[in-house]
Structure 1
Amino acid sequence: MTMSQQPLKIATRKHLSLNFFTNTKYEFLLAGITGGVASTMTVHPLDLIKIRFAVNDNQLDSRPKYQGVMHAVRSIVRADGFLGLYQGVTPNLIGNGAAWGFYFLFYNAIKSSMNQGDTSRPLHASQHMLAACESGVLTLVLTNPIWVTKTRLCLQYESVKLDNTKRYKGMTDCLLKVYKYEGIRGLYKGFLPGLIGVSHGALQFVIYEDMKIVYNKYRERAHNAKLSVIEYLACGASSKMIATSITYPYQVVRARLQDQHATHNGAIDIIRKTWSFEGYRGFYKGLFPSLLRVSPATAITFLVYEEIISLLGAKT
């Protein structure tokens, strides 16, 4: 190797190491945050009900019992008023806004690195899967403490008396108390099943991206051509419903790990107890309200995201 060739190789290495950052476009962060916040405000009550169904293992007699979604809505409103349906909405807004924002930011930066900034070149399904998995892990590291506070605020029942260490006045109070009494490990409860759940987001994005490509191919258009509102809604909702149906059990395990009313010895302990006392049905508690929630939520998120990206002139 000549002296003239060596600097070129070093420069190339530097270029590759900075490739991720040069392909990071903050329009994706803004679009993701806006989409996440818009969808959360719309469907939070269903998220609340899903969590309450998911953690109900019939081991705590004082925990409210619901006979269905509508019965849950009536019971919550009767006990806590209409605002009771929005318990835990603050961390949910912040969590979903941050999660979708970071997810889209990382996802598109990684995709852009893969195709070297050429958005006209389609990626393979395996590349979409890899980008989605990497984005999911990075996002989970940043947002897991928020999901712990959301779950615990959603599970504050007036009928269940807890000591002051597990009774929370709001998101900040919850974060501080969890850290004070349970440490960093408390803030990252449910992290392991959350990592497993990264496959959920990865699967959803692969399905979503492939749906758009296949549909545009069917319409004889460019693979990244802009779709109509209805088409984005259909692709977003369909991809989320399929991914949720396949991967839902991890959400039950994560919610039970984060539940302040019960003590478990880890995810394996929860899986064993759930199978022993509830059978396979236990892993799908809350699936129906979850499906009711994810369809409009994801459709709204993806629609708002795509429209803002188009407005800002960024290319996906």
Structure 2
Amino acid sequence: MNKESVAAGTSAGATVQTQMIEESKRPSPWRHLVAGGLGGMTGAIITSPFDVVKTRLQSDIYHKSIAAKHSQANVRGMRGTLYHFVETAQLMRDIYVKESPRALFRGLGPTLFGVIPARSINFFTYGNLKPIIAGRSREDWSTHLIAAACAGVVTATATNPIWVIKTRLQLSPQVSHLSKRAKMSASKDVIRDIFKHEGFRGLYRGLSASYLGVTESTLQWILYEKLKDVTKDSNLPYMSTMVSAGLAKSVATVITYPHEVVRTRMRQGVPVGEQPRYTTLLRTLNLVWAEEGVGALYGGLSAHLMRVVPNAAAMFFIYELVTYRL
């Protein structure tokens, strides 16, 4: 046997051994499910007030009062964009004072009811698809792209009805003053109202915008994996995980944010006796752009960033801790 054959055999053996070691280090498939759910729950509770404010700023139900404040403050252009951070604080204060502190956590029940399975499904699908797609090859950006896109579509389809109900509850000023039992009844009333006036399809309003939003989660996963790889030798692994997650979420959110506004408009309730205006993805996008300007497509961006960045940092920290550290 010549030296080349021996070297090739040694190299192949080393490759197989490396693959076997990597496979032995892979966590149980179900650990992705548990870790994703715990991470999602933690992030949602911490950042719930910003979620309520974001939904208000995205909806045209509150748009007139917000536009009036903009006019009084005489803010336009980039200054108007930066003013979003000011109005986020103002709206949060108004909700706290005029409606009650509990109003800042309005919709948290449906949010947790949706976030826990959504994150569980997303992390479970993504975490288990990666090795299947990569096979015997090393994971690269294309592996992360396909796995993240598939995970996003599965998650959006499975959980859309929950987000429709949550949006309707968050846009109702009366709900915050109700007891827990009354809120459960309100949720049932929302579901009953959707079936009565919109049918089963009403639970899937905004689904097309959610599919468009898959681009955000896909981009976030790709950026996170790349940043995590760059910082893997850090002396502060937990901190690098949180920074990588927060930075990835920030970039992905800013690039793809308009779909969030479109989705909220499509999910909000329709006044009795009126025809729904926001019926399809393109129609909604055109209406918002034509009637309110491009700035409206970024309504609630400040509140959204203030929510999703710490949310992502906390969520991925818990996920990595439970999946790979414990």
- What is the match of residue 149 of structure 2? 133
Query: 2:130 maps to which residue?
Result: 111
Deviation at 1:27, TM superposition (A): 0.8
- Are 1:31 and 2:50 counterparts? no
User: Any conservation in 2 of the 1:34–1:304 contact (CA below 8 Å)?
Assistant: yes
Q: Paired residue for 1:46, among 47, 50, 74?
A: 50
User: TM-score under structure 2 normalisation?
Assistant: 0.77
Contact 2:246 2:309 (C-alpha < 8 Å) held by counterparts: yes
Counterpart of 2:199 in structure 1 is 183
1:272 aligned partner:
286
Structure 1 CA distance for aligned equivalents of residues 31 and 113 of structure 2: 18
* Contact 2:148–2:218 (CA under 8 A) maintained in structure 1: yes
Aligned 8 A contact 1:39 1:301 in 2:
yes
Amino acid across the alignment from 2:312: T
1:173/1:308 Cα in 2 relative to 1: closer, same or farther (>3 Å)? farther
1 CA distance for matches of 2:315 and 2:189? 29
Alignment of 1:248 onto 2:257: yes
Larger Rg: 2
Superposition deviation, residue 177 in structure 1: 3.1
Which residues in structure 2 correspond to 1:132-281 (within 5 Å)?
Answer: 132-158=148-174, 169-216=185-232, 219=233, 228-261=237-270, 263-264=276-277, 265-281=279-295
State how far apart, in whole Å, the 2-side matches of 1:108 and 1:44 are: 26
Q: Matches of 1:255 and 1:123 in 2, distance apart?
A: 35
Corresponding residue for residue 302 of structure 1: 316
- Per the alignment, residue 71 of structure 1 pairs with 90
| 2:120 equivalent to 1:101 | yes
The structural deviation recorded for 1:157 is 2.1
Q: Which has a greater percent of helix?
A: 2
Give me the whole-angstrom Cα distance separating, in 1, the residues matched to 2:48 and 2:313: 15
Paired residues of 1:145 and 1:175 also in contact (CA < 8 A): no
CA distance in 1, matches of 2:117, 2:100: 29
| Corresponding residue of 1:7 | none
Contact 2:39–2:319 (CA under 8 A) maintained in structure 1 = yes
Looking at structure 2, the residues matched to 102 and 58 of structure 1 have their Cα atoms a distance apart, in angstroms, of: 33
Give the aligned partner of residue 286 of structure 1.
300
For residues 76-95 of structure 1, what are the structure 2 equivalents within 5 Å?
76-95=95-114
User: What one-letter code is carried by the residue in structure 2 that aligns with 1:275?
Assistant: W
Deviates more, 1:258-267 or 1:33-42: 258-267
How many aligned positions are there? 273
Cα distance in 2 between the residues matched to 1:57 and 1:85: 18
For residues 256 and 154 of structure 1, the distance between their equivalents in structure 2, rounded to whole angstroms, comes to 13
2:101 maps to amino acid: F
Question: CA 1:114–1:248 in structure 2 vs 1: closer, same or farther (change >3 Å)?
Answer: same
In the alignment, the residues of structure 1 paired with residue 67 and residue 225 of structure 2 have an alpha-carbon distance, to the nearest angstrom, of 41
TM-score w.r.t. the length of structure 1 is: 0.79
Instruction: Give CA-to-partner distance per residue, 1:171-198, whole Å, 9 cap, x none.
Output: 3443343234322210000000100100
Per the TM alignment, residue 57 of structure 1 is displaced from its structure 2 partner at its CA by: 6.7
Q: What CA deviation, in whole Å up to 9, does each residue of 1:161-219 have, x standing for no partner?
A: xxxxxx98443443343234322210000000100100100000000001111223xx4
**SS of corresponding position for 1:197:** helix
Unaligned runs of 5+ in 1: 1-22, 160-166
Check if 1:123 corresponds to 2:139.
Answer: yes
Q: 1:56·1:63 contact (CA, 8 Å) conserved in 2? A: no
Q: Report the Cα offset of residue 75 of structure 1.
A: 1.1
1:135 alignment partner AA: A
One-letter code of the match for 1:287? L
Q: How many Å separate the matches in 2 of 1:48 and 1:133?
A: 27
Corresponding residue for 1:18?
none
